[in-house]
Every structure is written in C-alpha cells, then in structure tokens.
Structure 1
Amino acid sequence: MKTLRIGSGAGYSGDRIEPAVELAEQGDLDYLVFECLAERTIALAQQARISDPASGYDPLLSERMRRVLPFVGARQGRRRLRVITNMGAANPLAAAIEVRRIAGELGLTLKVVAVVGDDVLDVLRPEQVLDNGQTLGSLGERLISANAYLGVDGILEALRADADVVITGRVADPSLFLAPQVFEFDWATDDWPRLGRGTLVGHLLECAGQVSGGYFADPGFKDVDDLARLGFPLAEINADGEAVITKVVGSGGRVSRATCTEQLIYEVHDPAAYLTPDVTADFSQVGFADEGVDRVRAQGAGGRARPEQLKVSVGYLDGWIGEGQMSYGGPGAVARAQLAREVVLKRLELMGVKMHDVRAELIGMDSLHGPRSSVEPWEVRLRVAARCEARSDAVRVGNEVETLYTNGPSGGGGASKSVRQVVAVASLLLPRDAVNPRIQA
C-alpha cells in the first residue's frame, strides 16, 4: 500500500528554519508544508501591501525557500519533494515571483504556482455584521482586509498542474496538509470519513514543533530531550488516511501519546464538530497508540459534510497602544514599584489622557494572576500600558513612565517605552459560492 510522507516546516511566521531543512534533506518526504499565517498576521501583511504593492508576503519566505529549494523536485530515494505554503499571506502572486527569482539564482527549473481568491474585501457589503457586533460600514477607512479561509480546492488545482511549489494566501491550516492526501490518494471531495482522518493529520502537524515536544516540556513532569535541537514532525499516511506521527531519527524533541493528545485539543472547541472548509471533522473518538520510539499512530477520526459557509477574517485599525516599563530592585523594590504605579496613573489622570483597557502591573508579582500574597521578590518590573484612540495620548503613557527616572521613587532603572498601532481582527461568515479560489502560474 502506498505511503505518503508529509513534513511540517513551520508552525508560525517566525518559526525556526533549521528543522525544515533537516526534514527536506533527511525526511524522505513527498511534501514539505510551511504553515505561517495567524489571523492578525494576514491583516498586518495586508497593511504592508498597502504601503508597498510588491510586499505583503511572509518576511522569512526568501530565506526559507533559499534553504529548501535545492531539495525540491529532486528524487529523495524514490520520492519527489514538493512544497506547499501559505507564506503568500496578503500577496501570493508577489511571493510566487520571489520564489521563481530565488530558484533562478540557484539554477533550478521549478514550477511555482500561486493560489488566489481568498481576498474577498470587494465582495463584502457595508451592512454585514461582524462577530463583535460592528458592521463593516461602521469601520470606514479603518477597514484593512477581509480574507476567506479557503480549503483544498486551489491547492488541488495547482498540484494537478504539476506545481513543485504551491504558494497560497489564507487557507485553513489543516487544508494545507489535507490537499496532498486528497491529490495523491484520489479521494473524492465528499468522502467525509477520509477527509476527517486527513484533517486530523493536518491538525496534528500544523503547529510544527508543538507535536514533537515544543510548548510541552515541563522539567521533572514532562521531560523532553535535546529541546534546543527540536525536530519538526512528519506523518506517514496510507490511502485510508491512517497515519503515524514521527520525526527525523536523531533530531531533538519527543513524539509521544502525550504530545499528540495536547496538540489534538489545541484550538478545538467541539471535538465532535471541528469545522473546516473541507469537512466537519469528528475528533471525539480519536486515540493514539505507541508504535516505537517517537512513533505514534493516530486513529479514530471521522467526518461529516462540510459547512455551507466560509469563515472570513476581517482586519481593521483599532487605535494605539502606549506602553512604558521601569525596573526596581533590592530591599523595598515592591513598595517602590507600587508607588511608581500610583504616580503614573495619577499623572495620566491629571493630564486628561484618554485611555481604554489600562493595564498597570508589576511583572513578577501580579501581571499574570492578579493580586496575591507571596514572598517579596528581589526585583520587580513596572509595566503600564493602555489603548488610546489618538496616537498622541498613547505616546504620553510611555513618556510618563520614563519620567519616573527623576520624578518617581528611588532606584528605578532600565526604562523602555513604545507606541504601536492596533490591528484588530473580527470574523463573519460568507456563502461558499461567493468565493472563487483559482491558480495563477
């Protein structure tokens, strides 16, 4: 029976590059998938594209492709390696041009195909309501982006066109991994049980190192070997969608029933109805079985008909965050930091700074869990942050913390301040027939 090997080259935009290279070189893969988009990530990419029409794709695209393209299209044993990625972000066409440029510099002849159609900003209507209760029309010029979560359709079209590298924008994370399974095994796009099992594979791989020991380790409770050399996972999949999760032999990290279980429940609200553009996956009966060191079989997933609507992620500008920090150390550090906090908040009130969502906390004391009794630490850091409608008000938040140098309690140091624009994200649903995924080579 044919076995498909799919590796995960990234779990977010800023992920490590070395484990992906290790997979490309040593993983004997058919596909290497880079999943690099979060909801806010694509809104920020759309904002960058507004400033520069040639930008808007993942900032690490060039470096990642330069490192792995030498392995693409080559026969690794009996396998031909292909790459699928959503690093196109807000501009898959520009990303594809960049990948072709890099391939040319490396002396490689590769077919690079972009999947477009997720940008639906022109399709939406002002009266449509977001999940936060606002209408699109109420956002006015603050509206940045609207991207629908595509499924496997565009990627399948690219693979049928014999693409070596497929660059997408907003595609649902597990769909990036499901598409090659549907293509290679010729599954029907309404074979819901197999699509559910294939989606389980995608969900387990989509966060890369999380299923091989990253964000899992807890010394003395959940130990992970050689975390500094964490290897990213790969899946060995058969034609029925049954899969073994593993990693390159000798790489750091750990693949176990526990790591797979933690990843299974990640971002899943209803295990019996995990909604994707391709299938309503059912993970409620999923189980894991050890098959050796760093080898875990995933089984028991199912599926039902896909939703009739697609989720759309809408990005918009929502004010500014001003922030300032100052450290206090030694005897009485907490009392001095508390006084500094009182001074800053009173000063902002006296100056009439208009703020929302104010946070004034002592890192090391109450920033995570709120007020609590504990042994007084030897050092503590004051952080004051607030969201403001006007940038000028946000600037004053950080400035007022900085003035503690000469106007606050003794012993403060290491001041920092920053101002950043808030790119907020909300969602709505759009009928499937309003979205047109397609390829451009």
Structure 2
Amino acid sequence: MSKPVLIGAAAGFAGDRSDSSGPLIDLLSRSDGPRFLIYETLAERTLALAQKQKQIVPSAGAVPSLERLLRPALRDCARNGIKIVGNFGAANPHAAMDAIAGWMAEDGCGALRIACVSGDNLLDQITDADLAAIDLDNGVPKTQLVAANVYLGAAAIVEALDGGADIVVTGRVADPALALGPLIHAFGWAWNDWDKLAAGTLAGHLLECGPQVSGGYFADPGCKDVPTMDAIGYPVVKVASNGVFEITKPDGTGGLIDRRTVTEQLLYEIHDPAAYFTPDVILDITDVELVDLGAHRVQVSGAKGSPRPNKLKVTVCLDGGQLAEAEISYAGPNALGRAKLAAETILRRMARFAPGLKVRVDAIGQQSVFGSNERSPFSVNGVMCGSEDIRLRFAAMTEDRKVGQLLLDEVGALYCAGPAGGGGVRAHLTPRLASGSCFVERERVNHHVIFRDA
C-alpha cells in the first residue's frame, strides 16, 4: 500500500505571511512518504498587475513577494526532500525560475531540478468573439486588453514532477491543481478516476487559501473564538491512496481546525455544491463527510467526481482607466457638520469643473461599507448620525488622468479653503483594472514544461 502523501499550504495569496513555512517544514520533515509544500499566490488582479509590469520591464512579472515568501523555505526543503509547487511565476514563470536558481546557489541548497510551466497566457489568442462573451457591468470598453490567462489543470504539474522536478513554478493554474498534481504523481491515479480526482481537488480546495481553514477569515470574538491568531498555523493534509484525507496544522501553532472551520472553507467560492467545475474534474461535495477527530484534526471523505468539462475558464483583464482616491479627517466638536460641509464643497467644485464625473463620498466608520451614492453618507436610514471623528473618502473613476488629479487637488485644497480643522489628507491616482471571464475550447490550450538543473 502506498504511503500517505502530506501537503502543506504555505501561502493563500501573494501578501501572505513569510514565516508560515517554518512550522510546516518542521512537521513535513518528521514525516514519511512523499511531502510537498504548495504556494497559492495568484488572485485575478495579482496576475493582471504582473502582466502590466512585464510589459514595462520584460524581466519582471513574477509575484513581487516571491523572495520574501519562498527563499526562507528553500534550503530546509532541499535538505529534507520536500518538493515545492507554486503559482508564484505569475506572468513570468521563466524569470521566477531564474531567480530561484540564483537563491539556491547563494544559499547552498545543493543540486536540485526546477520545472517551469507555461501555456496559460492567451493574450495573443483572445478573439473578438471571446471578448463579446464577457459581461462587464461597469461600462469599461472591451479595448486595451491587459491580460488573458486560462486556468490550466494538474497535467503540467504531474509532467514536471514525473520529470524529476524538486520545485515546480507555474503561472495561472486552477488553485486545487497545486495539490492534485502532486497526488496524481505520487499515487499514479488515472485521469478518468473521477472520484479520486475529486478527492484530490477537494484537498486542494481546502488548502488553497492557506490559514482560512485554520481560523483565518473565520474568527469572530465571542461567537467563533480562535486562539493565538498572531501565530496561526497553516494547514496540512495527509491523503491516503483512496482519496480519504485528514486536515490538520503543526503542533504548537495558533489557530483552530475543526468541523466549523473546514465547513466554511469547503463552501468558499462554491456556486453549485453538486458541480464545482475545475479543469480536471467536476467536483460534487453534496455527500462530503467531515469527522472531527479532535486535536485540530478533521477527516474528509465522500467527494464525488464526474468527467472534466470541455471548456476552460479564462480570466480577462482590461485597462479600466484611473481610480482617484483622496481622504481627509475631521475631529472634535461638530466634526460631522464640518465633514458634511467639506463633502458639499467638493461635490459643487467638481460639478463645476468636471461635469459628469461621478464622485463617491464615504464617511469611513460612519457609513462606507454598506453605503451607496443614492444615500447620504451622513445619515443611517435618513437619521443624522453624530460623531467626534470623521474620515471622509472621495473616489471617482475616469479615463482622464487630469480629471482624476483635479479631484485630488480639490481635496488637498480643503486644508485652507475648507471647513476648520481638516487634516491628514492622503491622495492616490492609480491605474484600474476591469476583469471578466470567458470560456475557450480545451483544444486551444497547450501547456509547456521546461527543466533547469540548478
């Protein structure tokens, strides 16, 4: 019987903690059988921003936090035979591979093989018909295409591991494929063994957001208490060859793993529990069983699978113009009245000098998260609210940088030309991205794997 496979998740997004890998490596290094450390770092806009960086600097385009996240783990993983799989290649997996090879040489990691997976970039292949199928509800014109990346499946990762890779660098792949690939490689699962592929996909789904399954994005004091979140443990799955697995975290770390945390992550981003589409299998979680084993261990079984879809999802990002944002604070007696006067002043000035520009006003902490332009930010259900501390935020989207800069300048002018006591102005004019999705025939997509011995 094959030994169980252990997979630890060291990152759930590009901005994750850099000290997450240490406890995971300690746990994996004391275990038998195949062991993997995975990094999921690519939100949709993370990849689009990386594509824009690569257009400016051809050697750029990998996840900016690559060194901070990965380098601390390289030497210990190499010494303990722990393989690494991550989508931190973003828009430039080749550049990421080169950087990793350099760090390995500098840090004395020994002779290792790196694999680079490409083929997800469809920027030059997207047709007008593809764009026509994208629903953009924000009025952004379907021009100025910035990025178009298809979600690859586990096949390229399996090919890389079968070819002897110790580190696999990818661009866009389906998040669960980061775990499914190692499982297919280790167990030799057939590509049409749908229930096992579903189980591996489910394991990857629970791991993909890192500490969300171990108490992150779950904690709610007094309702859902999570201990020691400043040292939260990142998750590990222990998968048997039949697809049944346990999810846990390293001993001595903070956080929490129980049926509740696993249930929340199980349902995360799931639209239809009976048909979660991935490139490798359609996952059905309606009969999944979670058994709380105690001591931060939950057994997961019952995933069902059906044949993979004929089409693959492509995330398309387009230039969305400029986002102008500026903030100013008012505090002390009658702060609300002065903030309201400041807002009225800005809106009147912008209506005069930039007619047609829609300016949003938020009173942060008073009304911002649930507010809208249809309701005054200074009232809740029509009743004026009082406060001794108001942070005003003004925001507008525009194609014209000069118009965006005008809004920022007007907010800055409130220092002298606005109500008493305004301060703490912060202003930013940043490029904005609009995103949508389309689907392409599987036959239009080809992955490529190259190897480098470092």
The TM-score by the shorter chain falls in which range?
over 0.9
| C-alpha separation in 1, matches of 2:411 and 2:133 | 36
Q: How do residues 185-224 of structure 1 correspond to structure 2 at under 5 angstroms?
A: 185-224=187-226
TM-score, L = length of structure 2: 0.92
> Residues 147-194 of structure 1: CA distance to partner in whole angstroms, max 9, x if unpaired?
100000110110001100000000010111111111111111111111
Q: Which amino acid aligns with 1:329?
A: A
- Per the alignment, residue 25 of structure 2 pairs with 24
Residues 287, 299 of structure 1: 8 Å contact kept: yes
| C-alpha separation in 1, matches of 2:440 and 2:244 | 32
- Per the alignment, residue 162 of structure 1 pairs with 164
Is 2:410 the counterpart of 1:408? no
| C-alpha separation in 2, matches of 1:354 and 1:91 | 40
Q: Which amino acid aligns with 1:94?
A: A
Q: How do residues 259-274 of structure 1 correspond to structure 2 at under 5 angstroms?
A: 259-274=261-276
| C-alpha separation in 1, matches of 2:136 and 2:328 | 37
- Per the alignment, residue 315 of structure 2 pairs with 313
> Structure 1 unaligned runs (5+)?
none
> Structure 2 unaligned runs (5+)?
372-378
Mean Cα deviation higher: 210-219 or 373-382: 373-382
| C-alpha separation in 2, matches of 1:24 and 1:433 | 39
Is 2:16 the counterpart of 1:15? yes
Residue 374 of structure 1 deviates from its aligned partner by 7.7
SS in 1 for 2:280: coil
TM-score, L = length of structure 1: 0.95
- Per the alignment, residue 345 of structure 2 pairs with 343
| C-alpha separation in 1, matches of 2:111 and 2:357 | 55
Residues 354, 403 of structure 2: 8 Å contact kept: no
Residues 7, 23 of structure 1: 8 Å contact kept: yes
- Per the alignment, residue 395 of structure 1 pairs with 405
- Per the alignment, residue 448 of structure 2 pairs with 438
Residue 17 of structure 1 deviates from its aligned partner by 1.2
| C-alpha separation in 1, matches of 2:314 and 2:97 | 23
Is 2:135 the counterpart of 1:132? yes
* Cα separation, partners in 2 of 1:133 and 1:262, compared to 1, 3 Å: closer
| C-alpha separation in 1, matches of 2:243 and 2:361 | 50
Residue 365 of structure 1 deviates from its aligned partner by 1.1
| C-alpha separation in 2, matches of 1:167 and 1:374 | 54
| C-alpha separation in 1, matches of 2:92 and 2:133 | 24
Residue 125 of structure 1 deviates from its aligned partner by 1.7
**Among candidates 47, 64, 70, match of residue 65 of structure 1:** 70
Is 2:289 the counterpart of 1:287? yes
Residue 133 of structure 1 deviates from its aligned partner by 5.9
Residues 117, 169 of structure 2: 8 Å contact kept: yes
| C-alpha separation in 1, matches of 2:428 and 2:355 | 16
Residues 34, 87 of structure 1: 8 Å contact kept: yes
| C-alpha separation in 2, matches of 1:166 and 1:180 | 10
Q: How do residues 27-426 of structure 1 correspond to structure 2 at under 5 angstroms?
A: 27-28=28-29, 30-75=35-80, 80-107=81-108, 108-128=110-130, 129-132=132-135, 139-140=142-143, 142-356=144-358, 358-370=359-371, 371-372=379-380, 373=383, 376-426=386-436
Residues 88, 94 of structure 1: 8 Å contact kept: yes
SS in 1 for 2:125: coil
Q: Which amino acid aligns with 1:165?
A: I
Residues 84, 176 of structure 1: 8 Å contact kept: yes
Q: How many residues align?
A: 432
- Per the alignment, residue 375 of structure 2 pairs with none
Residue 375 of structure 1 deviates from its aligned partner by 5.8
Mean Cα deviation higher: 365-374 or 60-69: 365-374
SS in 1 for 2:342: helix
SS in 2 for 1:428: strand
Residue 316 of structure 1 deviates from its aligned partner by 1.3
Q: Which amino acid aligns with 1:66?
A: R
Residues 201, 235 of structure 1: 8 Å contact kept: yes
Mean Cα deviation higher: 201-210 or 290-299: 290-299
Residue 354 of structure 1 deviates from its aligned partner by 4.7
Give the alignment's Cα RMSD to 1 decimal. 1.5
Residue 226 of structure 1 deviates from its aligned partner by 0.6
| C-alpha separation in 2, matches of 1:185 and 1:374 | 64
| C-alpha separation in 2, matches of 1:243 and 1:375 | 52
Mean Cα deviation higher: 403-412 or 81-90: 403-412
Residue 274 of structure 1 deviates from its aligned partner by 0.5
Residue 130 of structure 1 deviates from its aligned partner by 3.6
| C-alpha separation in 1, matches of 2:409 and 2:133 | 35
Q: Which amino acid aligns with 2:409?
A: N
| C-alpha separation in 2, matches of 1:168 and 1:365 | 43
Residue 396 of structure 1 deviates from its aligned partner by 1.2
> Residues 247-272 of structure 1: CA distance to partner in whole angstroms, max 9, x if unpaired?
00001111111111111111111111
Calculate percent identity across the aligned residue pairs. 41
Residue 435 of structure 1 deviates from its aligned partner by 0.4
